[in-house]
Structure 1
Amino acid sequence: MSKNNEVQSTAVNLICDGTSITGDIQASRDIRIDGFLNGKMKVNGKVVVGNTGKIQGDVHCKTIDVSGMVEGNIFASEMVNLKNSAVILGNITTDKISVEPGAKFTGSCKMGEPAPKKMKKSKENHKSSFEKRKQQTTSLAKYSGLAFQMIAIILLVLFGGFQLDKYLENEFPLFTIIGAFGGVVLSLYFALKDLLKK
């Protein structure tokens, strides 16, 4: 095969000044825009927008150098370079950015790892720890209430048995003992009923 027919690995796609394209572009190599593109662009390399170049649409690439105009969002995984004649109307998401004096940029810029995800995660952690504390407090209140209920039932039935023994003038505290045993059984019954209900 002759050298003239071989495709060089460093070849660059080019949209020349005066050329207008409507539609999305996907490229596995670098691309230079000196003309007009109305559509989305996905490039696995570098995008160069020359002084006369204009893109209306989102751009996804590794790096981008802009001297012309981009009306859309830029997503560059590595680097964005805005030259002094650059005009950007859209948001930029990238790892690094370089802006020369004179470049015009209207939009927002996110660099590195997105902060909202970290904040959201810490909010979720805070929410889950709050929920755990709330559950612990609810459990403590529930079991404290059950203990108080059990003690109250035992004391009430015990007091009733004591008063009955006193009224009947029993020498052996039969009703007091039965009341204590009955109070324990009754309090356990109500405690289990409450636990199974919740």
Structure 2
Amino acid sequence: MFGNGKETPKKSPGPMPSAPSGGVNTIDEHTSIKGNIQAGGDIRIDGKLDGDLVCKAKLIIGERGSITGDVDCQNAMIEGTFSGTIIVRDLLTLKDTARVKGNVRASKMAVGSGCLIDGQCTITGDKDPAAGFAKSSNGSMNGTAEHEKHKSNGAAVKA
């Protein structure tokens, strides 16, 4: 626009980075799903899922969201309700409003001061949190390793 009248071509910034394994999926609070889901990227559940979820990236269960079933994911942040078995291969974050019932296995876990945990909880550190778990004949994940039973009143748990 200004200058010597010759336009200098703008350099392209190149391709935009994308989610590691796919896009971002959202299940809104007015949606209920019965069945299993496989997500290649991040997924946020603000509605209700009654079924199993395999997520190659991050799972977020919003404050009004709930999952009843088994979950296997890379990272997870729970603000709402979860019931079942969850395997988190990296970091599980339980916010103050989280309500978790069942088996929890994660490499690392951060626990908010108001969350509730009722079930078995195992933090594995550098070990694969899925080790010691097998699918039963009905398809649900069952622990074959010994677990510690914890109820949290909000104490922070670090691996």
> Normalising to structure 1: TM-score of the pair?
0.53
Deviation at 1:91, TM superposition (A): 1.0
In structure 2, list runs of 5 or more residues that go unmatched.
Answer: 1-15, 133-159
Partner of 2:41 in structure 1? 29
Identity of aligned residues (%): 38
Q: Distance in 1 between matches of 2:17 and 2:92?
A: 26
Query: How many aligned residue pairs are there?
Result: 110
Match of 1:67 among 79, 89, 97: 79
Please report the RMSD computed on the Cα atoms of aligned residues, expressed in angstroms.
2.0
The list of structure 1 runs, each at least 4 consecutive aligned residues, that deviate by more than 2 angstroms after superposition, is 7-11
Give the AA of the match of 1:69.
T
Does residue 79 of structure 1 match 2:91?
yes
3-state DSSP of counterpart to 1:52: coil
Bigger share in strand: 2
Point out which structure has higher relative CO (alpha carbons under 8 A, 6+ apart): 2
Cross-structure match for 1:144: none
* Aligned equivalent of 1:89: 101
Q: TM-score, normalised by structure 2?
A: 0.65
Equivalences for residues 1-198 of structure 1 within 5 A = 9-10=18-19, 11-112=23-124, 113=127
- 1:8, distance to aligned residue in structure 2 (A): 7.5
Residue deviations 1:34-70 (CA, integer Å, cap 9, x gap): 0000000000000000001000101100110000000
| Bigger share in helix | 1
Q: Which runs of 5+ in 1 are unaligned?
A: 1-6, 118-198
What amino acid sits opposite 2:57 in the alignment?
Answer: G
Q: Deviations over 1:51-110 (max 9, x none)?
A: 010001011001100000001111000011000000001111111000010100001111
